[in-house]
């Protein structure tokens, strides 16, 4: 028996956290979907994508702030306060780095390489699994499904590592150092998004280990 069972009785009182985390998850899914669509049909002269990413990033800031406020007002939480804090921060980081990736793509005016959309697809897939994991976390009834989502996110992050490596190898075949610096920067921002998704998966997994 895990140590969390004694807390299960309190759950009905603290639905607010799951409601907020579900809003966060659906925002990330939408944001990453639009980001991926934008990478597939990219137009440097049309900066509506950047504007949309900025809007989503602000929405995520507001939701994250709301979670911290609830954390201050509620004595009872569905799982450790530290875990809620870490989960909320980790989810916000995903949005921050997705926005930063978009910002630097526009800032550097770099024509996207094929790695950009490979990354954006992996990011979108990570967000879908995060949404699924957070849904199944509610009530701790489906620990196996939660774990499966976390394993998938870990595998996407591994693939993203390879996309970065191979992208860098390809990039260094050129002999334009300034272009290398710019594209390398964007590829690294994109890879950090999947690192942040992996951090969230690890946090979720440590919660499920404790309470399921």
Q: Which residues bind its own copies (CB under 8 A)?
A: 2-3, 68-69, 71-73, 75, 82, 85, 103, 107-108, 165, 168-169, 172, 175, 177-178, 180-182, 184, 205-206, 209-210
Residue 128 or 194 having the CB closest to its own copies: 194
Residue 71 or 159 having the CB closest to its own copies: 71
CB of 195 to its own copies, least distance (A): 11
Residue 12 or 72 having the CB closest to its own copies: 72
CB of 131 to its own copies, least distance (A): 23
Tell me how far apart the alpha carbons of residues 86 and 74 are, in angstroms, rounded to a whole number. Answer: 17
* DSSP at 11: G
Residue 11 or 70 having the CB closest to its own copies: 70
Output b/e per residue, 40-62; b: 16+ Cβ within 10 A.
Answer: eeeeeeeeebbebbeebbebbee
CB of 63 to its own copies, least distance (A): 15
Q: Are 195 and 153 in contact (CB under 8 A)?
A: no
Tell me how far apart the alpha carbons of residues 137 and 211 are, in angstroms, rounded to a whole number. Answer: 10
- Rounded to an integer, what is the distance from CA 170 to the centroid of its chain? 26
């Amino acid at each position: 028996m895990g140590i969390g069972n004694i807390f299960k009785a309190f759950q009905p009182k603290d639905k607010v956290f799951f409601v907020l985390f579900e809003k966060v998850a659906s925002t990330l899914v939408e944001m990453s979907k639009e980001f991926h669509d934008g990478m597939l049909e990219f137009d440097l002269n049309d900066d509506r994508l950047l504007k949309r990413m900025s809007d989503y990033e602000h929405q995520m800031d507001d939701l994250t702030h709301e979670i911290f406020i609830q954390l201050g007002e509620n004595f009872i939480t569905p799982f450790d306060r530290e875990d809620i804090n870490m989960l909320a921060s980790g989810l916000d980081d995903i949005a921050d780095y997705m926005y930063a990736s978009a910002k630097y793509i526009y800032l550097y005016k770099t024509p996207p390489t094929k790695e950009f959309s490979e990354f954006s697809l992996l990011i979108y897939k990570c967000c879908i699994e995060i949404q699924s994991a957070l849904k199944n976390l509610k009530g701790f009834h489906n620990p196996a499904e939660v774990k499966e989502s976390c394993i998938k996110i870990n595998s996407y992050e591994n693939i993203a590592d390879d996309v970065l490596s191979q992208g860098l190898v390809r990039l260094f075949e050129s002999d334009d150092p300034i272009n290398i610096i710019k594209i390398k920067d964007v590829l690294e921002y994109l890879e950090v998004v999947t690192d942040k998704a992996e951090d969230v998966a690890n946090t979720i997994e440590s919660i499920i280990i404790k309470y399921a």
